[in-house]
Structure 1
Amino acid sequence: MLGALLRPAAVPAFTQQPAACRDGSLPVAAPELHETIQRSDGNLADVVGKVESWLTSQVGPLTGEAHQANRLADLAITDSTIATVQDLAGALGVSARTLNRLTTKYVGLSPYTMIRRRRLQEATEWIRDHPDEALADIAFRYGFVDQAHLSREARTLLGLTLTDYRLRTTRP
């Protein structure tokens, strides 16, 4: 079995329903790729190159919209200054409606959910690195209304309470 994480621009080449496979996997029948990899010498760089070539052949040249979808994802998951859908739309120079259309076609998550996930990831990373800091202070630091808001987000997106998360990630 071989797995690959795709950039948003590649997703429509494999599914018209990105929401159906988010946070999971999408099996793709590619016997020619399988054969090519089996014939390789096992060199990781060689295998990665072969997979990249195959993916490029499947996806084809990227449109301006596809490039915009990649940029949207980059901003949503890395730019801590983006706190709202309007912030994200402004950073891309598009309307909120265009943003929603792009995320529906290429990502399978709403822009708001992408931002929520990033904020929670930042907060949980802080919790992991600063296990003694009060959760209320961390919630404030990452733009949550209060500790309860941060806790609800964690339970919804991680399936854990923050206390459980802290216990699992605290380094001895």
Structure 2
Amino acid sequence: MTTTGDSRGILFPGQLPAFERVDAPEDIRDRVEWFWIPRWELTDGATSTQTVLPFPASHLVVEHGHVNLYGPTTGISVRVLSGHDWAFGMRLRPAGLAALTSEPAEFLDTYLSFAAPGLLSLVTTPMRAGENTAAVRAAADWVRREIAGADDTGRTANAMVDLIAADRSITSVGELAERMRMSVRSVQRLSARYIGLSPLAVIRRYRLQEAAVQLRARESVAMGDLAAQLGYADQSHMCADFRGVLGITPGEYRRVKG
């Protein structure tokens, strides 16, 4: 197991608590992309605001003595941390989510309590002892036992997301359908069943995440050049999309990024 270097979705890295992302073992990668583990220890009365632009995916999270299934989001996610605590999450692949729920859109922008006492006890014990690696191993074993492997349609849904994430040239549902050799309607149904978002929303989320990464890493990149690289028709379209989801313009983000 290795720590992933993918920083997409993390808008303000300097504000993060101790944080680790660990790639899922290959044999369960059809169900779980990676495990993520934040730990924080704040002084009395202190808080830390965490703002992320989540991947277009759902997460199974052990936190505060419960297991919750977080659905996909339509915008940024903001959480305020306090005290001394931890969380343990797994980013679900489309096929993994479909094994847990048939209607992911029902918990769009919210979460549901998920009955998984085995997972709760398996993860909590090593996490309380500060043993991240043991917690990941226990969670991976639970996934092997409790979440069914991907079928053909699930693998197609996984492949669709992989294609969107990897190919910046895909900016429309029509282009995605052509690359998948499917009809637009079939792609829309696949995205609704396995993600809970429209395929266009998935495409735009990955492009906005990439925009944020580039704005952090390349101080001198011109907005017009960045828009072209990410497949936007022009700078104004990228800026409108960025502001519509993040609430600030790309220029404002560049100035306040941490």
TM-score by length of 2: 0.58
What corresponds to 1:58 in structure 2? 146
What corresponds to 1:97 in structure 2? 185
Whichever of the two has the greater Rg, that structure is 1
Cα deviations across residues 10-51 of structure 1 (Å, max 9, x unaligned)? 112322332344565443221122223345576433321221
Counterpart secondary structure, 2:90: coil
After superposing the two structures, state which structure 1 stretch, 63-72 or 156-165, moved more. 156-165
Alignment of 1:18-33 (within 5 A): 18-22=104-108, 25-33=111-119
Q: Distance in 2 between matches of 1:22 and 1:91?
A: 27
What's the offset of the Cα at 1:141? 2.9
Alignment of 1:140-151 (within 5 A): 140-151=228-239
Aligned CA distance change for structure 1 residues 12 and 145 (closer, same or farther; 3 Å): same
For structure 2, the 5+ residue unaligned runs are 1-62, 64-87
Cα deviations across residues 82-129 of structure 1 (Å, max 9, x unaligned)? 222222223222221111111101111111111112222222322222
Which residue of 166, 169, 172 maps to 2:257? 169
- 2:62 is aligned with 1:13: no
What corresponds to 1:46 in structure 2? 134
Aligned CA distance change for structure 1 residues 130 and 37 (closer, same or farther; 3 Å): closer
Q: Distance in 1 between matches of 2:226 and 2:158?
A: 29
Counterpart secondary structure, 2:207: helix
- 2:219 is aligned with 1:137: no
Q: Distance in 1 between matches of 2:149 and 2:125?
A: 27
Which residue of 100, 120, 134 maps to 1:34? 120
RMSD after superposition: 2.3
Q: Which of structure 1's runs of 4+ aligned residues deviate more than 6 A?
A: none
After superposing the two structures, state which structure 1 stretch, 145-154 or 64-73, moved more. 145-154
After superposing the two structures, state which structure 1 stretch, 144-153 or 25-34, moved more. 25-34
What corresponds to 2:206 in structure 1? 118
- 2:169 is aligned with 1:77: no
Higher strand share: 2
Counterpart secondary structure, 1:3: strand
Q: Distance in 1 between matches of 2:235 and 2:224?
A: 5
Q: Distance in 1 between matches of 2:137 and 2:163?
A: 27
Q: Distance in 2 between matches of 1:79 and 1:135?
A: 20
Aligned partners of 2:157 and 2:190 also within 8 Å: yes
The percentage of aligned residue pairs carrying the same residue is 34
Which residue of 234, 248, 257 maps to 1:160? 248
Q: Distance in 2 between matches of 1:12 and 1:142?
A: 29
Q: Distance in 2 between matches of 1:137 and 1:9?
A: 35
